[in-house]
Structure 1
Amino acid sequence: MSAPLKLSPSAPAAEPAEGRRPRALVIAEAWRELGPGVAALSNGSGRPLARTLKLILDPLVIRPVQNPGLAGGTLTSDAAAELHDRIRAAGGDLTAAAAWFLELKAARRRLRITDGNPQEKYFQRCFELARTSGPPSADADAVAAEVVTEIAEASGDSLLAQVRELLRDETAAARLGEELGDAWSRRPGSGPAPAAASASASASAETVAAALDACPTGDGSAPLSVLVDGSAGSAASARLADDGTAQQLGLTRHPLPPAPRLGETASKRDLPLPFDRSIFERLFAALSGGARVDLGIDAEELIAAEIVRSTSAWQLGEEDSRVAMLLGAEASTALDAGRAAQPTAAHRLLAARWHREAYVRRALRLPEGTSGVPASVVDDIRSVRRGYLRRLWVRLHGRELREQPLDPRDVWDLLDGVLRSVVMDQRQRLKTMMVRGADEREATEAA
């Protein structure tokens, strides 16, 4: 009788199941704890989408290359806890990224962009926006449009991409450069033409004040029409020819606005002041938010029109835009520190919006060097009027390029919206700088 067969012990061949956990299950559990805020990055069962895992969680949150213990199909209990903690710690960024994805998808629809998968194109940019800017704020529409258009430009078929290619063509650039030089040598004076001089004179300071008193209520159409018909905006631009005036308004770094270059490159993070921008930088700043597909103009026509605009009063092409600059320049005097008299409703409302900002008051009150806010940011707050007028010019220039006429009923929304945008930007910058300064002081004290 043969000896009984001896079986090898099974324990060394397999680790007890309770000692390890499936990686996918750990991710799903941690993801569910983030709640409905990440729904835009989730599938129907509430788990992260496959692209969420591929484009956001693995490369940007979990980072299995740097953390190989989190890469396997099953994880030890310690690795599972670490993975869970990583996803939970990134919850705020992931929720903000989901909100940004909804904003970018909406901008994509508005701009009628249909090529490519939006998840593939936008997921990582949404997480980047979440990390750098936090959740979407008041200017989310504009930011989303810029990002979507920038991504679309990578395909080379946008109007702005065509402008760039044309300016890189030596023959075309030489021809357009001659056109630019000729236009600036023949540009009209900054003041009104003689035929319009008497009409401009009738647009008195009282009419400007009447418009600023009435526009917050939507009743400013009559005085605004008087100002537009009388070319008051063009007349007011005459002062920009005075040495240093445009510089004081924050529109140029030079005593007198220089003739622009054609240019062929631009950076959103490093754009010059409005009157110091090249022709390409002006178009880039406006069209990076998305040109209408029915604009009905080719790249060369667009450049030629911008050359003409650069020689015009306020470097804007429409009189209603120039009047809006006149009104903004007057109303924004209310933002100057120490200004007591507020003669119109627009002055009073703008002043109230700015001076009630707690972060602004704190930055101005604390001694320099102890607030955690760099001197350059404090200077921007003290000279907010310059920043206001710069942003107002950019808004008006962009409206002209997109062929969006300025209705008199929208003037106050424009003037107030520009300051609201400046406030939101300053508030975010101050929050970031103050938190960073506090962290640095704590680190120094701890050391």
Structure 2
Amino acid sequence: SPTERDDESFVRISATTFSRNRAGQEILSISDSPLVATRSGFGGALYLGDDYGDTTKNGKLRCRLSDDVNFSENNSENGGALTSVSVSELSLESVVFSRNFGVRGGALYMQALGDKSPITSRPPAHYLTGRNITYSDNVGALGGAMFLLVSPATAPLQRKGLSPFDISARDERRPGQTNNDDDVFFEDSSFKGNTAVDCGGGVYTKRGRLGCRSCTFAKNKVAGRLRGSGGALCIVAQSTLHGRDVRFVKNGAAHGGAVYAEDSLVDMVGGVVEGNRAALRGGGVYVNITFGTLFEHNISARLWNTSFVRNKARIGGGAYLFIGRGLAALDVENCTSSDSTAPTVHSAVSYLAACGVDPQQQRALFRSTFMSFKAAQFVDNNATQTGGALFTNAPEEIDVCCGCGGNLSHADVGRTTAGLDSNNPCPETWLRNVAGKVDGGNVLATAAT
């Protein structure tokens, strides 16, 4: 039962089953309409927190669900099983979500204000901490298992940075652990067989910080062969993923068989990306960064000690990495353009030179981000057209260190190379990757090949 102390409220629920509950004006039969939830409502079984839409401050509610709490076959538009809005702290341990249905979040819908200034030197703090959580066979339009929304319209730069290697959920047995204060952090948890209609077979995140350690995403998918993104994870609008020892196995979507990131940071260390499929681009990981998007340390993706094995797509069997570059409204002596785009930094700089822009100012027009691969392995990936291991339109923004390993440090955030200058940069660890198109780049393809 709820209790209050020092202007805070506490709720604890244990050993409880929530089954076949509904929230909303229109109740639809699960058997008749398996991909559609009720047209309104929040939290088919349980609603925690303040009124929806109040984004001015986080509430005072703290809640713990533990010791075999089960949510099954619940239904609501937002959070088929559970909704959390502006909750100060939600702790989940040994909780199972299965066969729940929602539009935003098949099992869980979460809205938080977000920590505007994450600090790595203090103990970790999360709005949601989950250990030994199982999400299985849940269905949603955005986020088959979970939907995370952080309210600020624009994420501060500090929220778009790397986390230390040893991030972990808050644990009294390991004092002093540090974290970048993810909004949600899962540890020793699994997402299996969940389905989304549009994006994020497992999790959909908008402006949120999602952390995972020792988690497995397996056989999640986005329905529809030629539509939908992020078979396991879909992170958009300046979100971040901090993954440590995370496995992505046999997930599928049209773009990003395992992970789809749009203007968002993928920070993965010690990961396994295996047997994922994308009908179009990025069998394992799809990253698309538009012009002008800023990241801390200018790193838009870190994929270290991560293995890409037997992934498949039309373009970019292992990974698809796209960095957008745009030149707009230029008006330079002897060269005027109202709408010009360039596929790579090199060609864009050449265009600026032709327009008479001072060479020292050319690069200043671009806040160049880069994607870092260290001790990464690409083995037996397949592209039916081009880029068996990797496809990118900006090889100069890809930093690859084949021999790096061992004492990789969080402080090591600088570039080690000037970019990809070979179509097979790591012959000892990038092996047996295949592209179907003649001259399609068995290992590496760029927009120019």
Report the TM-score range of the alignment, normalised by the length of the smaller protein: under 0.3
Q: Which has the higher contact order (CA 8 A, sep 6+)?
A: 1
Q: Higher helix share goes to which structure?
A: 1
Report the TM-score when normalising by structure 2.
0.19
Q: Which has the larger radius of gyration?
A: 1
Normalised TM-score (structure 1): 0.20
